[in-house]
Structures are given as C-alpha cells and as structure tokens.
Structure 1
Amino acid sequence: MNRWPRHRRTTSLLVGTVLTALTLSACGGGAKDDSGAGPVSEKEIQAALDKPTELTVWSWSGSLPDVAKAFEKKYPKIKVNVQNVGTAAEQYTKLQNAIKAGKGAPDLATIEYNAIPQYALTGALVDLERFGFDSLKDKFTPATWDPVNVKGGLYELPLNAGPTAMFYNKKTFDKFDIKVPTTWDEFLEAGVKLKKADPEYHISADSGNAGLTKSLIWSAGGRPFKVDGEDISIDFQDAGTKKYTDTYQKLLDAKVLAPVAEWSNEWFQGLTTGKIATVASGAWMSGILKGSVAKAAGDWRVAPLPSYGSESTTSVNGGGSLAMTEQSDKKLAAAAFLRYVSLEEGADITQASGSFPARAEQLESLEFLGAKDEYFGGQEINRVFADSLASVGGGWQYLPYDVYATTIFNDQVGKAYTGEKSLEEGLKNWEQQLIKYGKEQGFTVN
C-alpha cells in the first residue's frame, strides 16, 4: 500500500535508547551547502536542474519511486535514487545515526509530521524559508501547514493529510439495528447494545494506541504538550484531556472495546467479519481496508469522528512529507524535487495511489470531493475527510521527542486497557516518564 503513515505497525519496534543521542546540541559535520547561506532565487533552483546531479532520498512510500521517474523524465539531468532503508522507526534510527556521525544522511527523507520537531530543533534539517517556500502557505490546509513549522522555521511542504474519521461496518450496524453514532455517548450506547446482542462483536478495538490517544485528546480540545524551544510543558490534566479521559474510561469500563492489537491478524480478521465494527483513524485507513480487508468490500462506510457533545472539532492522525537534511550538498536540486513532490505532478501521482491530499486547491475540487468509492458502497468519502480537515482544532503541538514518547506508551498506559489501572493513572505515569526523559535530553520540562 502506498500510505506514508505506516508507523503504527513499526514504531513500537524502536527501543528508547535509540533516541538518547537526540540532544539540543548541533547535529555535527554538515556538508557544504550548494545554495549558500542566504536566500535562494528561483533562477538558481532552475539552473541547478540543468546540471548532472544525483539525489538520494530515504522513504518507505510505495508511490515515491514513480514520482522520481516522472521527475527524471521532466529533468533528465537529475537522477533520484529512492532507497527504502526501513519503515518509520527503522529509518528514523538510521537517520539519527547518520546525524550523530555527521555523515551518511540522504539529501531528503520522509519524516512524519509528529517527528519533525525532534530533527528540526537539533539543526539537522534545512529551513525551507531559505528557498522562499514560506510563500506557499496558502497552497496547503492549515491543519497540515502548522505541523511543518517549528519555532519560526519551515521544514517540509505538506504532502498528505490524515484527517480523523470513523470507519464503520454498515453490514454489522444494519444487522443489529445500530444507528451511526454522532457523539461518544452514542458510541458507548451502540457498543453496549452490540455487546448485549452478541458478545463476539465489539464496537471497536483498542489495546493501547499512542497515535489514536493523541488524536482523540486533540479532538476533545486537549493540548497536553506546549513547546517553546527548549522549554516544554506536559499536562494530561487540562480540561480537554480530562474530557477525553472521562469519556474513554466509560468505554473501557463497559468492556465494549475488543482487547485486540491494531495490525494483528486477529484485528484484520475482526474487520473482515465485521465483529470489530468501527475504526477511528486518519483518512489513510481507507487504503488499509481496501488492501487488507478486501473481502469486506461494500460493507464499510465513513462517518465523521464522534464529537464530545455539541463541540465538533477534529484532529489529524498520521501524515508526512519530505524534509531536507543539512548534510546534503545538493540542496538546490533537492528543493526542486521536494516542491515537485508536494505541489506539482508528484503530488498528483501520490494522490492517485490513495494518499489524501494536503493541497487546498484539490480539497476544493468538486471532481475530487464527488468521487464515488466502490469499496465504500459508492460513498463520496472524500467529502467526509475534507470536512474533518476543515474542522481540525488549532494549537496542537508535538513533543520534540514524540517518537520516543510513542515507544513507551504501552509500558505506561497499557494496563488501563486491561483494567489494571485507570486511564487517568496511566496517562499520569506516561507524563512523569516524558518529563524525566525530556530533562535527561537537556530540555526544561515541567
């Protein structure tokens, strides 16, 4: 599948010690900058495309090799070598090692939105304002533009978006006469009704998912992370987070969620049979269902993420693009390719592979919004995703060590999903560990 945010399968493989090298010190040993120290003109970028150049790009995206071929055809003097050095956590480990060594990093690398701060704040990435790309702000949705801006710098041009939505099995809902829930209270009621009707069925599944937890806190109005350079505040007791905690604890207490790990064979089987009736996720989940739950074609639909009462803000779950490393000595050509990927023909190729676009123009296209998806019973699912993206709450921030935070989530919060402790207690333990780790890395954390 051609999804970028595959980290939910692999991030847990990354042990915490990998990121201990991530400190606030300089990344060390950057290569010569072929764009100079000051602003770069469009004329310089175009001139670079007329010089024999080979770019190295690290990415696990299934569509990027096709994008590279199209770029090479348009600019025959440029060779783009796309290397899959591992998915998400594996690539991040290798990238961090190259940064620490001061050599060996690619010109460009896929970095998910949540991971950008940990690289940008160390000086490992190029601020794209150098190329005037900050002028492209209006080309993208705010929900994807905000995460790629860190402490006044621009570190990616967005490529895909992961607006949250609720995927539900209409066949199961019809079988048990369940209405599509619009609020989390209705979601709980539907879960209880489904469980009473047949204990083998569950309204959803969750055995502990850091990405989903952050997205649901975000949509509830919670803002547990505040980052201002080296100063960090972590608080899982703010009003929005408590709204999420109180609501989700009811689901756990009612045991309406299957204790099944996402991406496991049991999880896919439950989605195929409809015994796991919903999935709250980013828009990219549509491609996962089509590729791995193909036998259930026609059974699934997409609805807005349930709200917390009258409020209807949403969130983002997943997504990423290409970032340029400071070690690159081919920054001009790299800038041209990066822009091609996110705004030009490359973005069209990626979208055709199933990625949900971050480009504002595309999200206003009636043809795009009105496209009927046969897997989802002919539903115009892009409208649901686009509405969600337009309703994303502002002000969300990721920790500058978010990848590490994800790896320890289940160790700290996991027991809440088995009833051994409350969700509030689990989040408090997570908070304490994140504060401790941040201080060890040189941040001021409270």
Structure 2
Amino acid sequence: MRNRTRRAGRATSPAVRAAALAGATALALAACSGGSGDAADPSAAAEEGGKLTVWAWEPTLEQVVEDFEAANEGVEIELVNAGTGNDQYTALQNAVAAGSGVPDVAQVEYYALPQFALGESVADLTDLGAGELDGTFTPGPWSSVNVGEGIYGLPMDSGPMALFYNEEVFTKHGVTVPTTWDEYVAAAKALRAADPNVSITNDTGDAGFATSMIWQAGGQPFQVDGTDVTIDLNDEGSTRFAETWQQLLDEDLVAPISSWSDEWYQGLGDGSIATLTIGAWMPANLESGVEAGAGKWRVAPMPQWEAGEEATAENGGSALSVMEASENKELAYAFLEYANAGDGVQTRIDGGAFPATTAELESEEFIGKEFPYFGGQKVNEVLAESAANVREGWSYLPFQVYANSIFNDTAGQAYVGGTTLLDGLKDWEEASASYGEEQGFTIGE
C-alpha cells in the first residue's frame, strides 16, 4: 500500500478550501449524528441489504468488499477510486457542495479528517456503535478520528514511525545505525565522507514528515477549541526539529529527491539513499517498488531526541468515514465495522496493510511474521512497539489540507536555501494563521 499523506507541493482547489470555510461556520453548531432518533442497528441493516458507494484508493479494500458482499447476500457495494488524497477530497467536496453524487463511505486521511468533520460533511458515528470501540484501536489513530465530542471515522490503518535502513550500506562503511537524532546527523556525515554518492535520506520539503517529526519531539503547535485555534510553530518540539534538520540542510547531506519519484526508487535500490524515517505502511512499498533492495533493508526503532526515550509519532494512515449525506448510514457503518474492526482487518493485513487494531498488533502471528525482503527480520516487532509508543496530545488544524498545500511556499524554501527552517516554519505559521482568520477562526499564538 502506498499511503501518500505528503501533498505539500500541490495547490489546493477552491472546492477543498471551501471545506475549511464550511467548518468555520459549522463549529458553533451541534454536529449531525448518523444515529439520532431510533436506536441504530447496523447488523440488521446488513442483513436487510442495500446498496453502498465507497470512495477509496486503498487496494486491499477490493477483497474486503467482495467478502462483505458474500457474507451479506443483499448488499451491493460499488468501490470507486476517485483519486488519492487531495484529488479525492476535491471531488468529494464538489459533490457535497452540489448536493449530489456523494458516496456513502469515503477514505479520509487523519490529517484531513478534522476539516471534513467540522464542515459536517462526515457523520458522527458515536451512536451507530463507534462509541463502544474505545480500546479497539491504538491511541494515535483513535485520537485522530475523535474530533471535538464526536467520532467521525473508524481507523483503517496506521503509520507509527520507524527507521528503515540499508544494512548493506551501513556495514560496508562501518557506520553504526543511529539511535538518537544527534547520532543520525553524525551518521549522515560519516556516510557522505565514506562515499560522496550516499545521502542518509531524501527530503525536498514535506509537511507530513515535518509535522510527524515535531510530534515525536513533543511539539504541539496546533490546538483547537471550538473556533479558537492556536498555531505556534516556534514551540520547543518545532524548534528542536528545525535546528537538528538544519544541520543536514546546511551541509547538503540530504538528497534533493522527491519521494515516490523514479529517482527516489532508484536511490533506494542502489544504496545512494540509506534510510527512510517513515510510517509502518512502508514495507509493502519497498517489496513492490524496490526489488533491488531485497535482503538489504532492515527496520530499527525511530531515533530519539533523548537517549533512552521510546517516543514515536504517526506518519500517514486513513480512516473510513460515513458521509452525512448518506441515506443508508447504518449499512455504511456495518461495512466500516467489518472492514476496520472485524474480519476485514486480517484480509487487509494479508494484503500488506498495517493495522490500527490493538488485537492484531499484539497477536503472536502478527508480531512473529518473518519478512524475507528484510533478511528474515520480524519487522512487525519494531512497528508494533512503535504503535504503542506514539506520543499523546497531537492535533491537526481544522484546515490542515490547506496548510499542507502551502508548506513548500513557506517552510519548504529552507530546502532550496531561501531561508532557514526556523524562519520557514514561522512563515508557514503566519500564512496558515492568515488563512484561518479569513475563514472565520480566531487565531492565537
């Protein structure tokens, strides 16, 4: 599965930006609940049958849909790939604005969910059964679907971060795999000194990666309380990340290669890109896209800001949400529960997805799985431990889709020498705050 949460360089359409405006005006209102009125009974709805339209790009859902239809003979599901990330969000918001063509269920990445929840485009699932699922999912994904007082999706997967590294490169040059970020900077210098063609990683300015790093560093730059939004990209965690990463930028130790490009895949295969600090969904991407790296790559815990710590963060991941416009919310929720908390979970794991459910992450079968691509390493041991150590307290902006779209125009200038990362984050803060104020939010620092 390729879970592209990083859309920093893509312009956001007026339709998507409208979601933030809708969110601002809707914040003062009680969120609509799909379970109002009579007691909800998703199981009965599944038995009764009906038609659903699901918009999602995640490939393992194809088998899940087939299995759900087979288990519920009267159910017919149309699975539509309306685009990945922002492409789908644009189409989704256009449909919402037009009042027609809205699917019953949509895949929404965690960073984008608050924007759709506050705009009342997605339904509160609390009374449909989601209110009983506390503890079913790991803390990071579960907190991401809880917006205000409502639950606006069920976690489909998660992206607890780890260090993916080319063991062959580190061994060849006698460089120790880093356990702290200071060691990571030292390793970057050692690898470059040993081979001028080797970069410890690639980065051209990525909002998703930057916020994940700030998250792990203990930063909480985005806080939301009703229509009051605080943006502080000068807090301790943000500063810690910026100052550390600036060392790599100043010495040109990071390859200026965009992730998911042909050059990126080539670098991962030939060893010129030595590490990726990325979400737990990455193994399947390496296996399918970097055949030349088979047997060379390994996974280690995410480097720490202080030696001895075990804090991690999320990078990527999506929920399935029921659209408020759906006329079949109970059946839609029954599908969500099957796909994300029922039998569909194992189906998706078998297809290469990384789960967000605690039961699977703690199972001996999952943790003990050996990965031939990674030299027989039990990769999930590392990834499951990371999922348990995600720092609590993180939140996204209610207009994070827009904020991410302007990252390269602001903070991203540090990657091309136009400013420092510290100053770039300040520019990002100011531009995001201005947009929030235009949409009716009260912005503080």
* Alignment TM-score, normalising by the size of structure 1: 0.94
AA in 1 matched with 2:441? F
Are the counterparts in 2 of residues 16 and 404 from structure 1 also a CA contact under 8 Å? Answer: no
CA displacement 1:374-409 (0-9 Å, x = unmatched)? 101101110111111111110000011111111111
1:367 equivalent to 2:365? Answer: yes
1:170, distance to aligned residue in structure 2 (A): 0.5
State the SS of the aligned residue for 1:434: helix
State the SS of the aligned residue for 1:276: coil
Superposed, 1:311-326 pairs within 5 Å as 311-326=309-324
Superposed, 1:209-228 pairs within 5 Å as 209-228=206-225
Cα distance in 2 for partners of 1:356, 1:45 equals 26
1:100, distance to aligned residue in structure 2 (A): 1.5
Aligned to 1:25: 25
Cα distance in 2 for partners of 1:223, 1:336 equals 35
Q: Which moved more, 1:67-76 or 1:137-146?
A: 137-146
Are the counterparts in 2 of residues 39 and 131 from structure 1 also a CA contact under 8 Å? Answer: no
Are the counterparts in 1 of residues 35 and 128 from structure 2 also a CA contact under 8 Å? Answer: no
Are the structure 2 counterparts of residues 292 and 245 from structure 1 closer, same or farther at C-alpha, using a change threshold of 3 Å? same
AA in 1 matched with 2:274? A
Are the counterparts in 2 of residues 220 and 241 from structure 1 also a CA contact under 8 Å? Answer: yes
Cα distance in 2 for partners of 1:202, 1:387 equals 27
Are the structure 2 counterparts of residues 256 and 330 from structure 1 closer, same or farther at C-alpha, using a change threshold of 3 Å? same
State the SS of the aligned residue for 1:323: strand
Are the counterparts in 1 of residues 26 and 118 from structure 2 also a CA contact under 8 Å? Answer: no
1:26, distance to aligned residue in structure 2 (A): 5.0
Superposed, 1:406-425 pairs within 5 Å as 406-425=404-423
Aligned to 2:138: 141
Superposed, 1:373-384 pairs within 5 Å as 373-384=371-382
Cα distance in 1 for partners of 2:376, 2:68 equals 34
1:249, distance to aligned residue in structure 2 (A): 1.2
Cα distance in 1 for partners of 2:158, 2:56 equals 17
| Partner residue of 2:172 out of 154, 160, 175 | 175
Cα distance in 2 for partners of 1:236, 1:97 equals 32
* Alignment TM-score, normalising by the size of structure 2: 0.95
1:101 equivalent to 2:66? Answer: no
Aligned to 1:50: 47
State the SS of the aligned residue for 2:304: coil
1:303 equivalent to 2:300? Answer: yes
| Partner residue of 2:181 out of 169, 184, 196 | 184
1:260 equivalent to 2:289? Answer: no
1:196 equivalent to 2:208? Answer: no
AA in 1 matched with 2:157? N
Structure 1 segments (4+ residues) deviating >6 Å: none
1:156 equivalent to 2:138? Answer: no
Are the structure 2 counterparts of residues 36 and 158 from structure 1 closer, same or farther at C-alpha, using a change threshold of 3 Å? closer
Are the counterparts in 2 of residues 7 and 87 from structure 1 also a CA contact under 8 Å? Answer: no
1:270 equivalent to 2:267? Answer: yes
For structure 1, the 5+ residue unaligned runs are: none
1:11, distance to aligned residue in structure 2 (A): 6.3
Are the counterparts in 2 of residues 107 and 328 from structure 1 also a CA contact under 8 Å? Answer: yes
The number of equivalent residue pairs is: 436
1:300, distance to aligned residue in structure 2 (A): 0.3
Cα distance in 2 for partners of 1:349, 1:135 equals 23
| Partner residue of 2:425 out of 413, 424, 427 | 427
AA in 1 matched with 2:36? A
CA displacement 1:332-379 (0-9 Å, x = unmatched)? 111111100111111111111111111111111112111110101101
Are the structure 2 counterparts of residues 392 and 278 from structure 1 closer, same or farther at C-alpha, using a change threshold of 3 Å? same
Are the counterparts in 2 of residues 14 and 90 from structure 1 also a CA contact under 8 Å? Answer: no
Are the counterparts in 1 of residues 35 and 127 from structure 2 also a CA contact under 8 Å? Answer: no
Aligned to 1:90: 87
Aligned to 1:38: 37
Are the counterparts in 2 of residues 11 and 89 from structure 1 also a CA contact under 8 Å? Answer: no
State the SS of the aligned residue for 1:25: helix
1:45, distance to aligned residue in structure 2 (A): 2.2
1:244 equivalent to 2:228? Answer: no
Cα distance in 1 for partners of 2:187, 2:8 equals 32
Amino-acid identity (%):
44
